[in-house]
Structure 1
């Protein structure tokens, strides 16, 4: 993962409401949630929720699939794992222990 893609992903999580929506989708697992289900859990207005879902989708953190008249939203678990690994990959690189491991 390059720094630009990582920054886009982290920016998409960068607000409390979007993090709340993402956590609801993570908790729902691979089945995901409809927009109505997310609304019921979050109490967000439909237009506000639509904005946050678009932002999360553009950051690659969620996918959206139309099923009939509903849109199923799912967390992109692989991408979320990549973001976590991106941060942790550099863990302790500048510490004494990290320099010893590199040698």
Structure 2
């Protein structure tokens, strides 16, 4: 991951509503959830959620798919894994050894 991509992702997550939305989508797993479901859970106005999702989309942290009249949003788990790897690639490099950083290989797995 390039530094610009990491900065875009971190910037997108630096707002309480966007972070809450992203965490909720991660919890939902690969099936994601509809925009309406997400809006109801976060209790934000539709236009506000749209604006926040656009920021997350621009950072490639979420993806959406139209299912008839419904838009289903999912977390981009590949991007999340790349960001975590970027942030931890030099973990404990000066200490000689490092505890492994857990990465959620199976997004729907309990505890991820």
TM over 0.5: yes
State the Cα distance separating 1:91 from its structure 2 match.
Answer: 1.2
Runs (4+) of structure 1 exceeding 3 A deviation are: none
TM-score, L = length of structure 1: 0.89
Structure 1, unmatched stretches of 5+, are 99-103
Q: Corresponding residue for 1:97?
A: 96
Q: Corresponding residue for 1:49?
A: 49
TM-score, L = length of structure 2: 0.82
- Report SS of the residue matched to 1:97: coil
Q: Corresponding residue for 2:27?
A: 27
Question: How large is the Cα RMSD of the aligned pairs?
Answer: 1.1
Structure 2, unmatched stretches of 5+, are 98-112
Give the paired residue count. 97
State the Cα distance separating 1:96 from its structure 2 match.
Answer: 4.2
Taking the aligned partners of 1:12 and 1:42, their CA distance within structure 2 comes to 17
The superposition leaves residues 53-92 of structure 1 with CA deviations (integer Å, 9 ceiling, x where unpaired) of 0000100000011111111100000110110010100212
Change (3 A) 1:96 1:34: closer
CA radius of gyration, larger in? 1
